[in-house]
Amino acid sequence: MFHVLENRIRSAFATFIQARYGAGTPVLLDQPKQASFGELALPIAFQLAKQLKKAPKAIAQEIVAGAGSIAGVSGFEIAGNGYINVRLDRGVYGRALLEGSTEPAASRPGKMIVEHTNINPNKAAHIGHLRNAVLGDTFVRLLRASGNRVEVQNYIDNTGVQVADVVAGFHFLEHKTVAEVRQLVSSTRFDYVCWDLYARVSAYYKEHGEAIAWRQETLHAIEAGVGELSELGHIVADAIVERHLATMRRLDITYDVLPRESEILHLKFWATAFEQLKERKAIYFETEGKNKGCWVMPGAAFSSDAGEDDSKVIVRSNGTVTYVGKDIAYQMWKFGVLGRDFYYRVLRTYPDGHTIWVSTTEPSSDSPAFGKGDQVFNVIDSRQSYLQDVVEAGLRQLGYVEQAEKSVHFSYEMVALSPRTCVELGIELSEEDQKRPYVEVSGRKGLGVKADDLIDKLIETAQKEVDSRHPEAAAEERRRVAEAIATGALRYFLLKFTRNTVIAFDFQEALSFEGDTGPYVQYAAVRARNILRKLEERGMRMPDFAAALPEEAMSRQLAGEDFWQLLLAASKAGSAIERAVRGGEPSHVARYAFQLAQAFNNFYHAYPVLSEEDPEKRALLLWMTQYFQRQLRDVLGELGIHVPPYM
């Protein structure tokens, strides 16, 4: 609601300033430092002062006099030496909220593609992958909440080096047959088995340099799609993808389509892109130096101050293509400029009806159309920004300048481990590492916190609490409540940091359910619902708010600062979401959710709702309780967090 008024005021002022001064200055809206100054503050007079060579105060007076009246605004004041403070009409505002004149998020044209998760299918997911998935999934929810059509893709690199290493481990190191590996898939926690094997293989390469030939042989076999190694590759990757989907499902994260690298190769996506790259001279065949025999992209294409040595290999000297090459083809497909398309089959359909499709080489009749996006967000950690620059440069070199500009690297910093948590996990640290603020995780070394282990631990912690508080409830239900609390805590924890903050993961902090946490927010929502439930239990009914709170009653009740400020804060969800989408920063919404919960807890403590005697005030308190409850539920929903029935 609040941001509707913001927009109204912004456009009214902009129109006047354009007409009066012929200036296209953007109208910025601030929140006054002190609530007593009003609800909005405009520093526009300062912005115009230099341009117009006039005192800010005089300009402010002209603007206020000229802007006329705006619906929902009760008045303007000029403060300081030129601030324009806005006061809203509280009665009108309250009524608008009550009548739920919720602006339906106008659906926006075009289609957005968000690619996230993208875990190499060769080992269990860890906390770093969770940050990626939660960030991506939440951004998708926010985009959809603001009226965008969004397609969610999870790219599966099933033909890359990491899968090859695990396959080589099974085949060369452990001498396992296809049948034996299949057996492991069905009888073990396969992603955990591969986690350990991957670490063992990496260590083995280090000690036996010549063993790296296994990787080459396996990579070739997988790329060619023939033989036992290739079959193993499919078994491993497919089984691990299933595990990853299950892990993400626990956090209510899902996808529309899984484009796989094997199809990028077999449906000639890469061959097509390769031809175009050669034709456009975006890459060239190196005949000397360290990259002799490779197809490379010159460094100048993606970096302004690149030297001779900075070119990037796209096709290796043995003829296999690097990740970057395949990613260029994939990006082209996303924008619908490759001239080729995947076929799809259903991978699975969940009970709620949601279907995940996966790419395939076999034509099928009834699959939907994917790709052809107008804007693309790639959720990839910041360590890969160099590679993302190369991919973007590839698009540019091919002449897809517009697409390159609409391809956003939605980057975020890594999740590391706090030294204390390393100790808890039994990880030995060098003296140097102990002094660091955090220690980087490494899948190659098998160093890290597995996603499922963390989720299990969170559920266990929540379960203890729920069991002691609600021994009377059914065990199955208590379990569901514990799960909601655990996932709420985890998603919130990963979202409360801004994207470019390194998270030093700490068990103690992540397992906390007090203060700035998901459960704190959930608890506020539960409390609000409890009041409304209690009302019914006592045989009372909700008043007819529309009749009990006409505009005069609303202005009377909201005249005091207390209720007004609470209501105002609760009505700003739309602004928070808008800001988060505009800035690409989901943490804004997490922060808002926390503030909302604080505001409600404040209200809860200060005003006993059910025992209020005055009918009008009681109606207002009940209405505000209901409003808070809905806002909390909805905002948590945008964060992918559920409100349990009790806590």
Which residues 439-458 are close enough to bind RNA by CB under 7 A?
440, 444
Residue 470 sits in the site that holds RNA (CB under 7 A) = yes
Compute how many other C-beta atoms are within 10 angstroms of the C-beta atom of residue 7: 15
Who's near 489: CB < 8 A, 6+ residues apart?
Answer: 458, 462, 510, 511, 513, 517, 518, 519
Phi/psi for 542 (5° steps) reads -70, 135
Residue 46 sits in the site that holds RNA (CB under 7 A) = yes
* Min CB(350)–RNA separation in Å: 27
Nearer to RNA, 184 or 492 (CB): 492
Give how far Cα 554 sits from Cα of 74, 204, 499, 563, 619, Å.
15, 73, 41, 10, 10
Nearer to RNA, 232 or 504 (CB): 504
> Rule CB under 7 A: which of 350-389 touch RNA?
382-387
Residue 534 sits in the site that holds RNA (CB under 7 A) = yes
Q: Please pick, from the candidates 2, 330, 410, 520, the single residue that binds RNA as defined by CB under 7 A.
A: 520
> Rule CB under 7 A: which of 612-631 touch RNA?
none
3-state secondary structure 111-171: EEEEECCCCCCCCCCEHHHHHHHHHHHHHHHHHHHCCCEEEEECCECCCCHHHHHHHHHHH
**Six token digits for residue 180:** 């034996």
Determine which helix (DSSP H) or strand (DSSP E) holds 377, and give its type and residue range.
strand 375-381
* Min CB(605)–RNA separation in Å: 4
Count CA atoms within 13 Å of residue 334 on its CB side. Answer: 35
Q: Classify 454 as helix, strand or coil.
A: helix
> Rule CB under 7 A: which of 20-39 touch RNA?
28-34, 37
Residue 61 sits in the site that holds RNA (CB under 7 A) = no
* Min CB(577)–RNA separation in Å: 12
> Rule CB under 7 A: which of 148-177 touch RNA?
157, 160-162
Phi/psi for 267 (5° steps) reads -90, 15
Nearer to RNA, 95 or 491 (CB): 491
Query: Helix, strand, coil % (nearest 5) of the chain?
Result: 55, 10, 30
User: What dihedral angle (degrees, nearest 10) is formed by the CA atoms of 247, 249, 252, 255?
Assistant: 110
Please check whether residue 592 is in contact with residue 576, taking contact to mean a CB–CB distance below 8 angstroms: yes
Count CA atoms within 13 Å of residue 175 on its CB side. Answer: 0
**Six token digits for residue 381:** 């950690």
Nearer to RNA, 355 or 501 (CB): 501
- Name the residue among 244, 297, 4 with its Cα closest to residue 116: 244
Residue 496 sits in the site that holds RNA (CB under 7 A) = yes
Residue 509 sits in the site that holds RNA (CB under 7 A) = yes
Residue type (1 letter), 417: L
Residue 465 sits in the site that holds RNA (CB under 7 A) = yes
Residue 413 sits in the site that holds RNA (CB under 7 A) = yes
* Min CB(100)–RNA separation in Å: 23
**Six token digits for residue 329:** 């083809």
Nearer to RNA, 317 or 364 (CB): 317
β-pair partners for 152: 114
Nearer to RNA, 342 or 607 (CB): 607
- Name the residue among 386, 385, 439, 389 with its Cα closest to residue 412: 385
Piece of 109-117, 121-129, 239-247, 320-328 that binds RNA (CB under 7 A): 320-328
Q: Please pick, from the candidates 102, 501, 536, 615, the single residue that binds RNA as defined by CB under 7 A.
A: 501
Write the binding mask 572 to 611 for RNA: x where contact by CB under 7 A, - elsewhere: ---x---x--xx-x-xx--x--x---x--xx-xxxxxxxx
* Min CB(417)–RNA separation in Å: 11
Nearer to RNA, 32 or 336 (CB): 32
Write the binding mask 216 to 255 for RNA: x where contact by CB under 7 A, - elsewhere: ----------------------------------------
Residue type (1 letter), 597: A
Please check whether residue 495 is in contact with residue 590, taking contact to mean a CB–CB distance below 8 angstroms: yes
Residue 85 sits in the site that holds RNA (CB under 7 A) = yes
Who's near 641: CB < 8 A, 6+ residues apart?
Answer: 487, 488, 491, 492, 518, 521, 522
Piece of 14-22, 102-110, 168-176, 502-510 that binds RNA (CB under 7 A): 502-510
Residue 209 sits in the site that holds RNA (CB under 7 A) = no
Q: Please pick, from the candidates 210, 352, 514, 544, the single residue that binds RNA as defined by CB under 7 A.
A: 514
Q: Please pick, from the candidates 469, 546, 559, 614, the single residue that binds RNA as defined by CB under 7 A.
A: 469
Piece of 170-178, 271-279, 292-300, 626-634 that binds RNA (CB under 7 A): 292-300
* Min CB(119)–RNA separation in Å: 9
Q: Please pick, from the candidates 64, 194, 283, 294, the single residue that binds RNA as defined by CB under 7 A.
A: 294
Nearer to RNA, 522 or 555 (CB): 522
Residue 207 sits in the site that holds RNA (CB under 7 A) = no
3-state secondary structure 555-575: HHHCCCHHHHHHHHHHCCHHH
